Amino acid sequence: MSETLETLLDESRTFPPSDAFRAQANINDPGIYERAAADPVKFWEEQAEALHWFERWHTALEWNRPYAKWFVGGKLNACYNCVDRHAEGPRADKIALLFEGEPGDIRKISFRELKDEVSQTANALKSLGVKKGDRVCIYMPMVAELAITMLACARIGAAHSVVFGGFSADSLAERTNDAEAKVIVTADGGWRRGHVVPLKKITDEALDLGCPTVEKVLVLNRVGEKAPEGTTMTEGRDVWWHEVVPQQSKDCPCEPMDSEDLLYILYTSGSTGKPKGIVHTTGGYLTQTTATTKWVFDLKENDVYWCTADCGWVTGHSYIVYGPLSNGATCVVFEGAPDSPDKDRFWKIVENHKVTILYTAPTAIRAFMKWGVQYPQSCDLSSLRLLGSVGEPINPEAWIWYHENIGGSRCPIVDTWWQTETGSILISPLPGLTATKPGSATQPLPGILAAIMNEEGEELYPAHRAVNEKPGEAIGGILAIKHPWPSMTRGIYGEPERFVATYWSRFKEHYFPGDGAKVDQDGYYWLLGRVDDIMLVAGHNISTMEVESALVDHHAVAEAAVIGKTHDLKGQAISAFVILKTGQESHPDMVNELKAHVAHKIGAIARPDDIFICADLPKTRSGKIMRRLLRDVAEGRALGDTTTLADPGVVNSLKNQYEDKES
Ligand code: ATP
Ligand code: MG
């Protein structure tokens, strides 16, 4: 990479919070940034006070780079904080989980009921031999019992490792073995677009591959008689949920856990290669997920909060289970897909349950744009008051579409940047304070020190700076976080060297998240895509995000992925893969029109050398574009690791089409 990242996209639209929103917001005093910056450790201690501790910590932070310990000596239980303290107070009859299955079945579980069910599940796990310190692998559909199992593990001090229910037997076996899980909790099947995903069968295949640490398999009866043929139970190993859980006592004390005890392991989504078993502990993680949920989503007592992620990803851990429930929120849990039975499914859910806060991903928003506005327009979305985005940079056009068509131009949008490794949101607007700009995650949250670095590891935009200091001109480079934060990962499970090599070797002091970023003249942060994906064109570093956003800005384009393809003269040439909106036809001049559009929008330097119009893009199971596979396609190489792809067929057919075009 050369010295800095070019900054091309210039987005000048701003959206300040309305006076009415500001007045009611949880955070509407801008002084919070200064207070936090003055003494971040003290600031995080204040946030930790919001939790229930069995014993208070004696030391707020022990920092031994790269290992942090927060709230040392403190004792607490995450399940107690998310369930019991609400079940025993005025929220006892408030709905905690509002579950909707794909076939339309609905279950409303109050905090009181949740406490009973979590306790019974915890006792069932104990009866299967699970003890404090053990690991439990959870491979379930997105049903209420998934969250219940996570909480049951936390209750008895066992760590969970949730494996997304779309993964294959190989992936499940790999993750189960890496975590050395004693028990797998699964289901006979889960619903996906009207079909049954045969989870138990896949679990059996995984066990056949060899999972020596697994002693028992607990199986939820989700699809019943629709269970695919070959769903069998192995005597002595497999037990049905309905035969062991409801019989258990509803009394199961919460294990007092050390603040630094393991809460869970979670494997990253695998956009860049072999997944990493990211480790999170209890006190710091729960402190920061609890605080950020309240600030960023402006969560209030009467909200109906819906995060559309799956609990197989960190977003489901931090912003479906731990953060919202710790705050006593009503959370929607949805099993299905946005286009089943029809493309208005999300909007029907918003209308039926009067959802007030919706948190989803750019990949979903771009799919909604592609399908057209008639779907959201056919439903009443007036209950919504705040929207969120996570997972990838959101292109400004997608942001505007979301704002207008889902948010009715009245809801603030929080674009939240964070990672499995960071545990909670680090860069995001505070909706009552921040004037948002489409495509920018805006500012580091209070208590977070984020710098922009150059290749040499020098701060181009310092982490420590006066709160209102603005750079005056845009600065592009590599994002880095300086000071430890409570929910930061405590390591890669069993791989200490990889942990240091991946995150702590690039810079001497800072944490290296692997993402490119710029700050604009106003001090707003723009995430520019992964450092590994950044293109070097004729000596200029160009971000994938900016070129993609310029393409999506064209009225006919729904989605775009851009890569740097090896080029004799320029080093790399910009190669784009473009999906058109439903109803848009390609015409002979389309490619030239799109190239000209990019050149006009962000400059001739970013004009793509070639554009390939396609029907689909390779994505991870969490919906992120895998650019490294597109580079393999464009450069005619054998495809790299495809095990984390949602649909390997997409990239194979893309490869064939691309090769036909080239020849
Ligand atoms: P792997 O690390 O295995 O390649 P992954 O990085 O996709 O997988 P996650 O931890 O789920 O796994 O994703 C975090 C990454 O997602 C971030 O590093 C960033 O690249 C991207 N990301 C998340 N939210 C945003 C956002 N709001 N804006 C821009 N990028 C985002
Ligand atoms: Mg990552």
Q: 248 is written with which tokens?
A: 């258990």
pLDDT of res. 1:
46
Q: Is the pLDDT at 2 greater than 60, yes or no?
A: no
Query: Which residue has the least CA distance to atom 17 on ligand 1?
Result: 419
Q: Which atom of ligand 1 is nearest to the CA of 644?
A: 3
Task: List pLDDT tens digits, range 106-125.
Answer: 999 999 999 999 999 999 99
pTM over 0.85: yes
Q: Which atom of ligand 1 is nearest to the CA of 420?
A: 10
Q: Are strands 159-162 and 262-267 parallel, antiparallel or unpaired?
A: parallel
Residue 32 lies in a domain: no
Can you give the CATH number for the domain in which 644 is found?
A: 3.30.300.30
Query: Which residue has the least CA distance to atom 6 on ligand 1?
Result: 271
Q: Which atom of ligand 1 is nearest to the CA of 421?
A: 10
Task: List pLDDT tens digits, range 112-168.
Answer: 999 999 999 999 999 999 999 999 999 999 999 999 999 999 999 999 999 999 999
Q: For residue 31, what are the contacts with CB-CB under 8 A and spacing of at least 6?
A: none
Task: Out of 311, 317, 360, 417, give the residue to mutate to test ligand 1, the one with the largest number of ligand atoms within 8 Å of its CB.
Answer: 417
Q: What is the 3-state secondary structure (H, E, C) of 345-380?
A: HHHHHHHHHCCCEEEECHHHHHHHHHHCCHHHHCCC
Query: Which residue has the least CA distance to atom 30 on ligand 1?
Result: 392
Task: Out of 366, 394, 418, give the residue to mutate to test ligand 1, the one with the largest number of ligand atoms within 8 Å of its CB.
Answer: 418
Q: 28 is written with which tokens?
A: 């509407």
Distance from C-alpha of 383 to C-alpha of 304, rounded to nearest angstrom: 9
Task: List pLDDT tens digits, range 181-227.
Answer: 999 999 999 999 999 999 999 999 999 999 999 999 999 999 999 98
pLDDT band at 4 (very low <50, low <70, confident <90, very high): low
Give me the percent of the chain exceeding a pLDDT of 70: 99
Q: Is the pLDDT at 393 greater than 80, yes or no?
A: yes
Distance from C-alpha of 192 to C-alpha of 199, rounded to nearest angstrom: 12
Query: Which residue has the least CA distance to atom 26 on ligand 1?
Result: 417
CB-count exposure of residue 659 (10 Å: 0-12, 13-18, 19+): exposed
Q: Is the pLDDT at 275 greater than 90, yes or no?
A: no
Span from the CA of 111 to the centroid of ligand 1 (angstroms): 32
pLDDT of res. 272:
67
Distance from C-alpha of 628 to C-alpha of 638, rounded to nearest angstrom: 12
Give SS3 for 206: helix
Q: Which atom of ligand 1 is nearest to the CA of 416?
A: 27
Span from the CA of 421 to the centroid of ligand 2 (angstroms): 8
Q: 484 is written with which tokens?
A: 């430890």
Longest dimension (CA), the chain: 72
Q: Which atom of ligand 1 is nearest to the CA of 275?
A: 3
Q: Is the pLDDT at 7 greater than 80, yes or no?
A: no
Task: Out of 420, 436, 445, 488, give the residue to mutate to test ligand 1, the one with the largest number of ligand atoms within 8 Å of its CB.
Answer: 420
pLDDT of res. 230:
83
Q: Tokens 């893009």 map to which residue? A: 617
pLDDT of res. 387:
98
| Ligand nearest to the backbone CA of 533 | 1
Span from the CA of 156 to the centroid of ligand 1 (angstroms): 31
| Ligand nearest to the backbone CA of 421 | 1
Q: Which domain holds residue 628?
A: 538-662
Task: List pLDDT tens digits, range 400-428.
Answer: 999 999 999 999 999 999 999 999 999 99
Task: Out of 488, 524, 527, give the residue to mutate to test ligand 1, the one with the largest number of ligand atoms within 8 Å of its CB.
Answer: 527
pLDDT of res. 600:
94
Q: Which atom of ligand 1 is nearest to the CA of 315?
A: 11
pLDDT of res. 187:
98
Query: Which residue has the least CA distance to atom 23 on ligand 1?
Result: 391
Q: Which atom of ligand 1 is nearest to the CA of 441?
A: 27
Residue 147 lies in a domain: no
Span from the CA of 271 to the centroid of ligand 2 (angstroms): 7
Span from the CA of 176 to the centroid of ligand 2 (angstroms): 20
Span from the CA of 442 to the centroid of ligand 1 (angstroms): 16
| Ligand nearest to the backbone CA of 365 | 1
Task: List pLDDT tens digits, range 24-74.
Answer: 999 999 999 999 999 999 999 999 999 999 999 999 999 999 999 999 999
Q: Which atom of ligand 1 is nearest to the CA of 529?
A: 20
Task: Out of 310, 313, 390, 392, give the residue to mutate to test ligand 1, the one with the largest number of ligand atoms within 8 Å of its CB.
Answer: 392
Q: For residue 243, what are the contacts with CB-CB under 8 A and spacing of at least 6?
A: none
Q: What DSSP assignment string belongs to 388-439?
A: EE-SSPPPHHHHHHIIIIISTTTS-EEE-B--TTT-S--B---TTTPPB-TT
| Ligand nearest to the backbone CA of 513 | 1
Q: Is the pLDDT at 21 greater than 70, yes or no?
A: yes
Task: Please tell me the chain's helix, strand, coil percentages from 3-state DSSP, rounded to the nearest 5.
Answer: 30, 25, 45
Residue 656 lies in a domain: yes
Query: Which residue has the least CA distance to atom 31 on ligand 1?
Result: 392
**Domain tally for the chain?**
1
Span from the CA of 241 to the centroid of ligand 1 (angstroms): 34
Residue 562 lies in a domain: yes
Residue 269 lies in a domain: no
Query: Which residue has the least CA distance to atom 15 on ligand 1?
Result: 419
Any residues with Cβ below 6 Å from ligand 1, and which?
268-272, 275, 313-314, 390-393, 415-417, 419-420, 441, 513-515, 527, 530, 622, 624
Give me the percent of the chain exceeding a pLDDT of 90: 87
Span from the CA of 234 to the centroid of ligand 1 (angstroms): 39
Task: List pLDDT tens digits, range 323-356.
Answer: 999 999 999 999 999 999 999 999 999 999 999 9
Span from the CA of 417 to the centroid of ligand 1 (angstroms): 8
pLDDT of res. 3:
53
Residue 166 lies in a domain: no
Query: Which residue has the least CA distance to atom 28 on ligand 1?
Result: 393
Residue 603 lies in a domain: yes
Q: Are strands 190-192 and 183-187 parallel, antiparallel or unpaired?
A: unpaired
Inter-helix orientation angle 648-662/627-634, to 10°: 30
| Ligand nearest to the backbone CA of 278 | 1
> Cβ atoms within 10 A of the Cβ of 111, count?
25
Query: Which residue has the least CA distance to atom 29 on ligand 1?
Result: 393
Query: Which residue has the least CA distance to atom 24 on ligand 1?
Result: 391
Residue 601 lies in a domain: yes
